[in-house]
């Protein structure tokens, strides 16, 4: 027996005074209503209705049972209403995860979204390790590299380039490397992977394929913005990604080198759990981020004019 369904039919029948009216309202047969209530009576061990051919009225036990269950059903109805409202209202907590290097891309659109939807509480969690957003109860994740897999839906927002760069001050002291082999005679920076503690390998496009290049690293950090600051300060040549350094290249504070030998491009992805009914605040945020960031030329070192978009 479906106890909640039987109790709901009982309450409806008590209000309508007729099994037939309940059946018509719920598009079921009167026999189905009668059977459910009869099973409920058997389950409770009491008679709930006096039945006649035309009308049903509550017994004393039925009236007492109605007074007991009605507050609970009202609470259930209210909870269902709040849940439905939460899927329509653009309000409530919105939990986001992203790696550290994505901060520059996300902070401006997050601030704009917060201004547009002040009833949404943004909770940004900076985590370099891949996050299982289903287990961690995260609404939306961002990641660079290959597309996230598993029980998630992902959207590639844009490609992240990597270029060797140096500051004008460094180049005035040490000169510009003429080719990849000349890098061995320069001072270079590196990125230390938080997951393994090892230096990330430097890969450059050489003769049409990506090759690992051993660089003389004199400074390394496990934060891409710290590495960028070191390169800007003239410490050495670094393999800088477009998310971190494209603005600095356009401003002239950073100079791209050996442009025929870029590093590998990786995707920057948004991902979220596979759910039939996303809360409206989550759907709205996803659409907003896609509109603001998809194919954005801002994070390319040399965006083609045709890719610039007006806002």
The tens digit of pLDDT for each residue in 148-196 reads 877 788 999 999 999 999 999 999 999 999 999 999 999 999 999 877 8
Q: What is the CATH number for 211?
A: 3.40.190.10
Residues 245, 169, single domain; the answer is yes
110: which residues sit within 8 A by CB, 6+ positions away?
96, 122, 124
171 in the same domain as 138 = no
- Please tell me the distance from the alpha carbon of residue 51 to that of residue 56, in angstroms, as a whole number: 5
Task: State whether 115 and 200 are in the same domain.
Answer: no
User: Tokens 């442009």 appear where?
Assistant: 259
Alpha-carbon separation of residue 41 from 16, 35, 61, 227, 247 (angstroms):
18, 10, 10, 74, 74
Q: What is the pLDDT of residues 38-56, one digit of tens each?
A: 898 889 898 988 877 667 7
Same domain, 84 and 139: no
> Tens digit of pLDDT for each residue in 215-234?
999 999 998 899 999 999 99
Considering the domain architecture, whether residues 250 and 166 belong to the same structural domain is answered as: yes
Query: What pLDDT score was predicted for residue 81?
Result: 66
Looking at the fold, whether 239 and 120 belong to one and the same domain comes out as no
Which of 64, 88, 112 is at the close of a domain?
A: 88
Q: Cα 273 from chain centroid?
A: 8
Q: What is the mean pLDDT of the segment spanning 200-207?
A: 93
> In the listed set 88, 115, 137, which residue is the last one of a domain according to the structure?
88
Q: Using DSSP, state whether 97 is helix, strand or coil.
A: strand
Segments forming the whole domain that contains residue 156:
92-160+266-307
Query: What pLDDT shows up at residue 256?
Result: 95
Q: Please name the residue that has the structure tokens 């059946």.
A: 23
> Using CA of residue 75, residue 80, residue 83, residue 88, what is the dihedral sign?
negative
Is the same domain home to 250 and 171?
Answer: yes
List pLDDT tens digits, range 110-142.
999 999 999 999 999 988 777 778 778 899 999
């Amino acid at each position: 027996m479906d106890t909640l369904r039987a109790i709901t039919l009982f309450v409806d029948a008590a209000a309508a005074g007729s099994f037939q009216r309940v059946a018509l309202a719920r598009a079921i047969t009167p026999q189905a209503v009668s059977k459910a209530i009869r099973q409920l009576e058997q389950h409770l061990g009491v008679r709930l209705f006096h039945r006649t051919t035309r009308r049903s009225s509550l017994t004393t036990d039925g009236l007492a049972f109605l007074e007991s269950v009605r507050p609970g059903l009202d609470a259930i109805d209210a909870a269902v209403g709040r849940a439905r409202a939460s899927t329509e209202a653009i309000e409530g907590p919105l939990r986001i995860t992203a790696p550290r290097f994505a901060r520059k891309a996300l902070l401006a659109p997050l601030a704009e979204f917060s201004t547009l939807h002040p009833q949404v509480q943004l909770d940004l969690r900076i985590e370099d390790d891949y996050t299982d957003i289903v287990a961690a109860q995260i609404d939306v994740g961002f990641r660079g590299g290959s597309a996230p897999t598993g029980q998630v839906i992902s959207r590639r927002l844009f490609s992240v380039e990597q270029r060797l760069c140096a500051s004008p001050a460094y180049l005035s002291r040490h000169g510009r490397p003429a080719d990849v082999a000349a890098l061995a005679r320069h001072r270079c920076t590196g990125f230390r992977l938080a997951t393994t503690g090892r230096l990330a390998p430097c890969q450059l496009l050489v003769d049409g394929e990506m090759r690992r290049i051993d660089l003389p690293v004199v400074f390394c950090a496990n934060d891409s913005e710290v590495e960028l600051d070191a390169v800007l300060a003239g410490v050495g040549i670094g393999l800088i990604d477009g998310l971190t350094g494209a603005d600095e290249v356009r401003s002239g504070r950073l100079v791209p080198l050996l442009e025929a030998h870029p590093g590998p491009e990786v995707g920057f992805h948004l991902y979220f759990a596979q759910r039939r009914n996303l809360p409206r605040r989550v759907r709205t945020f996803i659409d907003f981020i896609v509109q603001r960031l998809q194919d954005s030329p801002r994070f390319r070192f040399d965006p083609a004019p045709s890719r610039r978009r007006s806002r």
